[in-house]
Amino acid sequence: MTEAIEHTNDLDFEGWVCPVPLRDTPFIVMGHGGGGAMSAELIEHLFLPAYGAAATADLGDSAVLSVGGSTLAFSTDSFVVKPMFFPGGSIGDLAVNGTVNDLAMSGAVPLFMSTAYILQEGTGLEELGRIAQQVGAAALVAGVKLVTGDTKVVDRGSGDGVYINTAGIGVIPHGVDINPRRAGVGDAVLVSGDLGVHGVAVMSCREGLEFGTTIESDTAALHGLVAAMLAACGDLHVLRDPTRGGLAASLNEIARASKVGIELVEQDIPVPQMVRDACGLLGLDPLQVANEGKLVAIVPADQADLVLQAMQAHPLGRAACRIGTCVPDHRGMVVAKTAMGGTRVVDLPIGEQLPRIC
């Protein structure tokens, strides 16, 4: 059961000035983990104030730090996916690739990773073994060393099988400065391939939502692709892997951080037919569905072709294409031109994506 939040002297709930005061929902709800607006709020209005002076400005899922003469990227992510095994992968693959990709989105070469497990009492050792094997295999492919870890067990009934947290460190090459505040008016918006694949793969085996599809998760480590892109253009402005919340979440965050508007051409956004069909069936927006092996890149307009060529030459970027432009209008918002010629706002998803009947 849930307990009320204890109000400490340092947290002034009354003083929160934000469009959606968290005090009205005194519990954590599933939406807080969805990667959308609610998650962002939890960080901005609960964690950051609570951390006080100890926190740096951001608390994004990847940090860029100067240590000695080097620039390091440090990132962490937790994996709570259900089902643990899905077409194309498992929680093990996601755990490694997710953190590797967070590092890669800063332009870092991922080097070392920790793995911490929270296991529910009663979890099958065989299942755990399979997951661990996939962690090892994914780490090998990604070129990271698994150097430290931890294991905890919780009571049957608390927790849901296996939760994995990974934290990773990488080195950012000199001169590389990739962060979400660098998108500029006129920049081109690129994606590395088909969208919505992972989310649909996972949803297709959820209880009550099963549907026949052979779609497999696109989980993959992207640092090789990023390296190829950096070789073509030393001045990539923004990179982001559109995981929870999909393309919509990532682009909205970038638009806000960089204070630009983003204009997409709906017909240019690559959504495979299978994803369209599954989303059509469930009433979901493919732009809000998670991806685990794709990236969004925002690059200077005159570099767009070069970068695209480099992406298309890489196995993970064959279907890379341009989907839009950064504009001086509607700063902070993402808008798409529809096939009909109208426009619509591409919104930050609220919480969890739920299938609908309407």
Partner 1 sequence: MCLAVPGRVVSIANVDETLMAEVDFGTVRKQVCVEYVPDVKIGEYVVVHVGFAIQRLDEQSAQQTLTNFEQLGILEEEFGDGFSRAARHAGVDDPRGAGR
Partner 2 sequence: MKYLDEFSNPDLAHKLLDQIHAVTTQSWAMMEVCGGQTHSIIRHGIDQLLPEGLEMIHGPGCPVCVTPLEIIDKALAIAALDNVIFCSFGDMLRVPGSSQDLFMIKSGGGDVRVVYSPLDALNIARQNPDKEVVFFGIGFETTAPANAMTVYQAKRLGVKNFSMLVSHVLVPPAMAAIMESPTCRVQGFLAAGHVCSVMGTAQYPPLAERYKVPIVVTGFEPLDILEGIRRTVVQLEEGRHELENAYPRAVLAEGNVPAMAMLQDVFEVTDRTWRGIGMIPASGWKLSGRYGDFDAERRFDVMDIHTQESSICRSGEVLQGLIKPHECAAFGKECTPRKPLGATMVSSEGACAAYYAYRRLELVETT
Determine contact, residues 90/124, Cβ cutoff 8 Å: no
Q: Is 23 in the site for partner 1 (CB under 8 A)?
A: no
- Of 22-30, 67-75, 172-180, 218-226, which part binds partner 2 (CB under 8 A)? 22-30
State yes or no: residue 276 binds partner 2 (CB under 8 A).
Answer: yes
Q: If binding is defined by CB under 8 A, does position 350 make contact with partner 2?
A: yes
Binding partner selected for residue 25 from partner 2, partner 1, none, CB under the kind-specific 5 to 8 Å limit? partner 2
Q: Which is nearer to partner 1, 61 or 194 (CB)?
A: 194
Q: Which of residues 255-284 bind partner 1 (CB under 8 A)?
A: 272-274, 276-278, 280-281, 283
Residue 155 touches which of partner 1, partner 2, none (CB < 5 to 8 A by kind)? none
Q: Choose the one of partner 2, partner 1, none that binds residue 343, judging by a C-beta under 5 to 8 angstroms depending on kind.
A: partner 2
- The helix (run of H) or strand (run of E) holding residue 225 is helix 223-232
CB-based burial label for 231 (10 Å; 0-12, 13-18, 19+)? exposed
Q: C-beta of 272: minimal distance to partner 1 in Å? A: 8
Q: Is 29 in the site for partner 1 (CB under 8 A)?
A: no
Residues 200-219 that bind partner 2 (CB under 8 A): 207-209
CA distance 262 to 188: 9
Burial 316-353 (b: 16+ CB within 10 A, else e): bbeebbbbbbbbeeeeebbbbbeeeeeeeebbbbebbb
Site string for partner 2, 31-60 (x = CB under 8 A): x-----xx----------------------
Question: Is 94:81 a contact under the CB 8 Å cutoff?
Answer: yes
Residue 271 lies near partner 2 (rule: CB under 8 A): no
CB 205 within 8 A of CB 283: no
Q: Which of 72, 239, 282, 304 binds partner 2 (CB under 8 A)?
A: 282
**What is the nearest approach in angstroms of partner 1 to the Cβ of residue 217?**
16
Q: Could you tell me where the DSSP H helices lie in 8-167?
A: 37-42, 48-51, 91-104, 125-142
x/- track of binding to partner 1 for residues 103-142 (CB under 8 A): ----------------------------------------
Question: Under the criterion CB under 8 A, does residue 355 sit at the interface with partner 2?
Answer: yes
The alpha carbon dihedral of 140, 143, 145, 146 has a sign of negative
Give the DSSP H/E element, type plus range, for residue 307: helix 304-312
Applying CB under 8 A, the site for partner 1 has a residue count of: 18
By the 8 A CB rule, do 198 and 158 touch? Answer: no
Least distance (Å) from partner 1 to the CB of residue 204?
A: 8
* Distance (Å, whole) CA 189 – CA 228: 17
Structure tokens at 167: 């934290």
Task: List 74's β-bridge partners, or say none.
Answer: 63, 169
> How many CA atoms lie less than 13 Å away from 350 in the CB half-sphere?
5
Residue 161, token pair as written in the block = 């099988």
CB of 248 to partner 2, least distance (A): 10
Out of 83, 122, 175, 283, the only residue in the binding site for partner 2 (CB under 8 A) is: 283
Termini Cα distance of the chain: 32
Please compute, for residue 97, the number of CA atoms within 13 A of its CA located in the half-sphere on the CB side: 26
User: At its nearest, how many Å lie between partner 1 and the CB of residue 349?
Assistant: 18
Q: Which residues bind partner 2 (CB under 8 A)?
A: 1-2, 19-20, 24-25, 27-31, 37-38, 207-209, 273, 276-277, 280, 282-283, 329-330, 333, 335, 338-345, 347, 350-351, 354-358
Q: Which residues bind partner 1 (CB under 8 A)?
A: 204, 210-213, 215, 272-274, 276-278, 280-281, 283, 356-358
